Structures are given as structure tokens and as C-alpha cells.
Structure 1
Amino acid sequence: MQTGQRNFTALPVINISRLYSDSLAQRQTVADALGQAARDVGFFYIVGHGIDPKLVTGLREASRTLFAQQMEWKMRYYIGESWGHKGYVPEGEETYSKGRPDHKEAFDIGFEAPADHPLVLAGTPLIGNNKWPDLPGFKAAVAAYYAAVFALGRQLFRGFALSLGQPEDFFEAMVTCPPSKLRLIHYPVDTEAVDAPGIGAHTDYECFTLLLADQPGLEVMNDQGVWVDAPPYSEAGEEAFVINIGDMLEVMTAGAFPATSHRVRKVQHERYSFPLFFACDYHTRIRPLSQFARDAATTSYSELSIGDHMYSQAQQTYSYLKRKVEAGEIALPAGALKPNSFGHLKSQAAA
């Protein structure tokens, strides 16, 4: 990989254990590595994260039990009948590109907000309680994993702040009740699968994503338009997380941290994938940070509401929300961008 360019052929690996050090200098060293990977690739592995493997095992067991249920049972928790855009997502519900539905099913879990939370009382989209399925041990296992990986996301955000020359707590006040979603995704066995996308090329809407997957299939686009494999990776017996930059950090850095385009290739093996999309609070408004204000690229990044951006993208991706928009039941937020308005896919969105 050439420094300063995005013509990469593999994802870098960063040991973040020193991000928990009492030494600011050691934390800064890790932060600098995070910043370089974010600039040069937008995707990277992290090890030394400290997530208990038992939490991962519990999550996988809960997911297998959930997706093994009959479709009629799973549809009791259909996301289209939820308040806060959480629950079961059947195959074909989402379309990311060229009108082709995704070959997967999912269950979406979000940051818990009680019914009396001000954002819930105000009817804020994407915010609210989860629609927990009635399965023994499911809520305990999934909630424990969510809490641990969300805490890891907070630590990474502190590292990103340092990498951008900001105080470590720069983003803290922006993350109090965010629409940060954990997705339990199941790709069924497909014995006739060919080397083609299972999820269309896209960027993630949020600040960054923490992903754990058990099979190959993820592909990342470099600046030459070449798809680079990003298979599961382990080091010293520890499963690595894949981290990728999303739309919001691209805005805050005026493109210095690119929201790198990616997709999932169709594979013949059953696959489980667990991305946690780390976001700031719904009403957080973002713009390029001051150090990027003199950059010519800044002018192409308008101020955005994080929540409005996330909700508008969902409205253009999920079938049940598309139907509501078409029926006039809900409307796209003002200034909503087309899907794929960031990263390498900007030209596609503009077409």
C-alpha cells in the first residue's frame, strides 16, 4: 500500500491495546495509526480490542437460534411494524443498488431509549426501545455484546479525535442517545452462488462501523475501482474487527477520511455478519472541522444533520419506508441526498 494513496491491495492491521494506556503518548501513537489507515484506505482491522470471546459466542448462538425459526414467527417482529426502525428484516426488504434486492435476512437492534425519553416523546425517527424476540437468553446475549462493542466504539472515537488534532473527549457530548444500530445478518446457503454481489456497493451512513463476520465475502473498493477481499482475520487467537469509515466522518474531514465503498460477494457458504454502526446523536449537525476549512474540497460538503441523513438513506433503501414515502405518509427530510453520495460512488449518485 502506498502512503497517501488509496490504491491498496489489502487492509492494514492495527493493534489498539495502547489506546487504553495511561500514557497519552502511547494513545497518540495508536491514534496516528488509525488516522493514517482512515486516510489511505478507509477500512482496516483492529486487534488488541479486549472484547470477551464469550460475548461473541453468545451472540452467534443467539443469532443461529433466531434465524432458524419459521418465517411466520420471525415476521411477528417485522421491522415495518416497529416504531423505531428495529426488528426483523426479511430477504428482499433492502435494495442498495441497481434495483436488486439483497440476498440476506437480518435483525436490527438499536441503542435503548425508554418510552419517556425526550427524543422518543418528540417522535424522533430511529429512536426507541428494541423489539426483543421471545427467545430464552436472546436479549441478555445480544444486549451484552452491544454494550461491549458500543464501548469499544467510544474508545475508537477518542482515538479518531486525537488523530484529528482534537481533545480526546471532542465527540463525547455528541453521543448520548444515538441511532447506533447493531445488525445480526444471515446469508443463507446458496449452492448456485456465483461471484457477484450479495449486497450492492454502498457506503455506511454513520461515523464508522465495527464489523465481525465468520466467512469471507466482504469486498472493499480502492481508488482504481478494484474490489479487494477483506476476509475474517485473527491474530494470536483473537478475532479482529473490521473498521470502516462512514459518511459522517467523511463530511467532518472534508473527504480526508473517505467513506470507502464496499459490498458483500455471494458465496456458497452460510455466513453471519455483525456490524455495529456507530453514530452521533440524531440532531447533531456536522460540517468539516476547522482544520479542513481552507481545503478546496470543503465546499463540496454541506452541513448535515446526522439523523436526517441516516433516516433519508433508510427511506430510500427499505421497502416499507419507500411505500410510506410514496403514499405520502412520511416525507424525506429537507436536503436529503441520494444513496451513494459519498466515497467512490459519488459519480453514480450524481448520474
Structure 2
Amino acid sequence: MIRIPMHTAFDRLPVVDIAGLFSDDLDRRLAAARALDRSAREVGFFYVVGHGVPGSLRSALTAHARNFFALPYERKMQYYIGHSRAHRGYVPEGEEVFGQGARDRKEAFDTGLELPADDPAVARGTPMLGPNVWPEDLPGFREAVSRYYEAVIALGRVLFRGFALALGLAEDHFDTLLKRPPSQLRLVHYPHDTQASDQPGIGAHTDYECFTILFPTAPGLEVMNGEGQWIDAPPVDDAFVVNIGDMLEAWTGGAYVATSHRVRKVVEERYSFPLFFACDYETVVAPLPGYATPAALQAYPPLVAGEHLFRQTARTFTYLRRRVESGQLVLSDEAASTASFGQHARAAKSAGQD
């Protein structure tokens, strides 16, 4: 089995108490930041507690997600994501295609930062920015999802300040890059499947943004450790799962690794609510000065964060793939990065060289 550097052979995810990040005491913030840094370097995936997000928001989100996904297919398809100009709305089973062409066996509802059509970034046609799509015939849905989104976005900003401290930067270093981020919240439903066997439901992948804040309702998530083994990451009471994404890997020159993960098919019904915390679309990402070694600069050439996100999204969603194939959608060449993110990709590359 191939040994992947920079990750330990962990057999469970660490728990990081981030309550100190909310303190007025710099020493407490630094202590919490050091704990974040250690988990980001050694694992890349961890639980966070002490986050301050009320459980009532998670309960309301779950209840309204159940109500939406219980609707007839025809009703849900009225909000099909392919009708949206900002990549928002309902994602039916089979819409997403991962890895070797395997269709994903889940359904989802995608939301993001609510921006009006006359917002300058939207008016310029920036992908993945714009108004949300809402099922207005479901009372309370929009309010519950929006309240949750706002609370977890606020948590993400606090985490970003913690990462800045951990990396030896000014605490507000990333603040200016978070004005209109295409940070998506996905409501994901894995239906009850009595025929499910113990096998991957979503193939190994990394997340394209800076980091992800996940609230799951049932087991199924698996994380690859430094020995290439898959480790269960079951839900923990009152904790979020946080994982490093591609942009933080690039910024740190690989010191933080966008840990590969997958979802295993399980018999029980499962809901999953990842918020993919992104920086502004036009942000140019390259190794930070303290991490810009010759090897890091070669491995992580500059890339535009939003272009990387949109290119990867366009490779996954059927409606976007069709637009690319027809010439209706042309992806920027700037989006083509030579970096390989996550230890799964590195393992495959190493295996090919051996």
C-alpha cells in the first residue's frame, strides 16, 4: 500500500474545540488555531465543537429538507438546476457523474449567496452567482434554509480567521477575499435502499473550495488516511465535520491536504448538508510566501479559484456537460490547473510511476 506523506495513519477523526476562536483573548484564539493547524496538517478532516450554531437550526433544516424531497418527482423538477442561471435548484438522481462515469445515486437541492440580478458580479455573468431558486409553495422552507446558511457562513468566517492565525498571517488576511463568494449549501438526500451493499456511493474526490462544513444525519462518509485506508467518519452529536479543500491545499503548498473522501452506500436513509466555503470567484490562489518553496510553486501554479470550481462543476453536472459539448458554454483556459489535489490522486500518480 502506498504511503502518502503529510498525513498520518489515523483511524478516527480528531475533535477540535474552536470555542477559543470566539474569545477576546488572543492567547485563547491562538490555542484554538494551533489545534486547527495540527488537524489540517495531519488529517485534513476533523470534527469541530464549540461552534455556537444552535441545534434548532439544524433540526429545522432537516425537517424542511424531508418535506421537499418527499414531494413527487414532477414537483421537484419544477425547480431543476438546469433552468437556473446561477446553478441553483433541484438536482435529480443521476444528474451528477463522478470518476469513471458512474452516475451518482442521490438527489440534492443547491443554494448559495442570494444576489439580485443587478448585482455587478451577476450582471457581468459571473458563473454560480445570482438569485436562489425557492419552492415558494413550501411554507418556511426558504426561511429555514436561509437562517442555516447565514449561521454556517458566519462560522466559516471565524474558521478562516483561525486558519489565518495558524498560518502565521494577520487574523483578517482572508477577509477581503470573502465579499461575494460562490459558497454553496447543498441539501442532499440519499434514499432508503434495502438492496444497498457495502460499496462506494460517491467515488473518491476532494472538494474544490477552501474548506467544507458538513452536517450529516447518518453514517456513510469515509475518509482516506495516510496509508490509503478508508476510515469511517460517523456523525458526532453537536459537531460539524470540517475538511480541507483544494484552495487551502494550494495556498499552503500542500502543507494542508484536500483529503480524499467518499460516501459509502448504506441501507438507512441519509441526509447530508455540506456548505462548501469558497473565496471570491476572481481570487488568484498560489502558495503563500511562507509556503512558496520551489517544489510548491511547481506543484501549484496560480489558478483562479472560481474558474477551478466552475470547471470541476461543469465536468460533473450533466446539464453543464451538454452545454460544453454543444459549444454553448466555453470554459476559460485559466481554469486548467496542473495541480493534483488530494492523496487519492497522488497515490494514483505514484502507482503509475512505480
| TM-score, length-scaled by structure 1 | 0.95
Range with bigger deviation, 4-13 or 250-259: 4-13
Range with bigger deviation, 54-63 or 333-342: 333-342
- Deviation (angstroms), 1:302: 0.7
Question: CA 1:226/1:202 → structure 2, altered by over 3 Å: closer, same or farther?
Answer: same
Q: Corresponding residue for 2:166?
A: 163
Amino acid at match of 1:34: L
Q: Corresponding residue for 2:34?
A: 32
Q: Corresponding residue for 1:154?
A: 157
Question: CA 1:164/1:149 → structure 2, altered by over 3 Å: closer, same or farther?
Answer: same
- Deviation (angstroms), 1:338: 7.7
Q: Corresponding residue for 2:52?
A: 50
- Deviation (angstroms), 1:241: 0.2
1:326-348 deviations in Å (ceiling 9; x for gaps): 00101122143489930113344
Partners of 2:209 and 2:246 within 8 A in 1: yes
**Consecutive unaligned residues in structure 1, runs of 5 or more:** none
Q: Corresponding residue for 2:242?
A: 243
1:85 aligns to 2:87 (yes or no)? yes
Partners of 2:178 and 2:280 within 8 A in 1: yes
Partners of 1:86 and 1:107 within 8 A in 2: yes
Q: Secondary structure at the match of 2:335?
A: coil
Amino acid at match of 2:202: I
1:128 aligns to 2:130 (yes or no)? yes
Amino acid at match of 1:249: L
Partners of 2:301 and 2:339 within 8 A in 1: no
Paired with 2:88 and 2:344, the residues of 1 have a C-alpha distance of 27
1:49-93 deviations in Å (ceiling 9; x for gaps): 111111111101110000000000000000011010010000001
Paired with 2:106 and 2:304, the residues of 1 have a C-alpha distance of 29
Partners of 2:181 and 2:278 within 8 A in 1: yes
Amino acid at match of 2:40: A
- Deviation (angstroms), 1:349: 7.7
Question: CA 1:92/1:349 → structure 2, altered by over 3 Å: closer, same or farther?
Answer: farther
Partners of 1:313 and 1:339 within 8 A in 2: no
Amino acid at match of 2:11: T
1:192-243 deviations in Å (ceiling 9; x for gaps): 1011111111000000000000100000011211000000012xxxx10000
Paired with 2:338 and 2:71, the residues of 1 have a C-alpha distance of 32
Give the RMSD, CA atoms, in angstroms. 1.7
- Deviation (angstroms), 1:4: 5.8
Q: Corresponding residue for 1:280?
A: 279
1:229 aligns to 2:250 (yes or no)? no
Q: Secondary structure at the match of 1:316?
A: helix
Pairing partner for 1:207 from 190, 206, 210: 210
Question: CA 1:231/1:338 → structure 2, altered by over 3 Å: closer, same or farther?
Answer: farther
Paired with 2:58 and 2:203, the residues of 1 have a C-alpha distance of 27
Amino acid at match of 1:343: G
| TM-score, length-scaled by structure 2 | 0.95
Range with bigger deviation, 79-88 or 332-341: 332-341
Range with bigger deviation, 135-144 or 95-104: 95-104
Partners of 2:224 and 2:344 within 8 A in 1: no
Q: Corresponding residue for 1:99?
A: 101
Q: Secondary structure at the match of 2:333?
A: coil
Pairing partner for 1:11 from 7, 10, 13: 13
Paired with 2:20 and 2:221, the residues of 1 have a C-alpha distance of 28
- Deviation (angstroms), 1:47: 0.4
1:233-258 deviations in Å (ceiling 9; x for gaps): 12xxxx10000000000000010000
Q: Corresponding residue for 1:189?
A: 192
Amino acid at match of 1:319: T
Amino acid at match of 2:42: D
Question: CA 1:259/1:5 → structure 2, altered by over 3 Å: closer, same or farther?
Answer: closer
Q: Secondary structure at the match of 1:273?
A: strand
Partners of 1:206 and 1:310 within 8 A in 2: yes
Q: Counterparts of 1:267-346 in structure 2 under 5 Å? A: 267-294=266-293, 296-337=295-336, 341-346=340-345
Question: CA 1:77/1:338 → structure 2, altered by over 3 Å: closer, same or farther?
Answer: farther
Q: Secondary structure at the match of 2:186?
A: strand
Paired with 2:338 and 2:309, the residues of 1 have a C-alpha distance of 10
Q: Counterparts of 1:166-177 in structure 2 under 5 Å? A: 166-177=169-180
Q: Corresponding residue for 2:140?
A: 137
Paired with 2:69 and 2:338, the residues of 1 have a C-alpha distance of 28
Partners of 1:338 and 1:349 within 8 A in 2: no
Amino acid at match of 1:55: L
Paired with 2:295 and 2:91, the residues of 1 have a C-alpha distance of 41
- Deviation (angstroms), 1:113: 1.0
Q: Secondary structure at the match of 2:316?
A: coil
Segments of 4+ in structure 1 off by > 2 A? 3-6, 294-298, 335-341, 345-351
Partners of 1:197 and 1:264 within 8 A in 2: yes
1:160-219 deviations in Å (ceiling 9; x for gaps): 000000011000000011100000000000101011111111000000000000100000
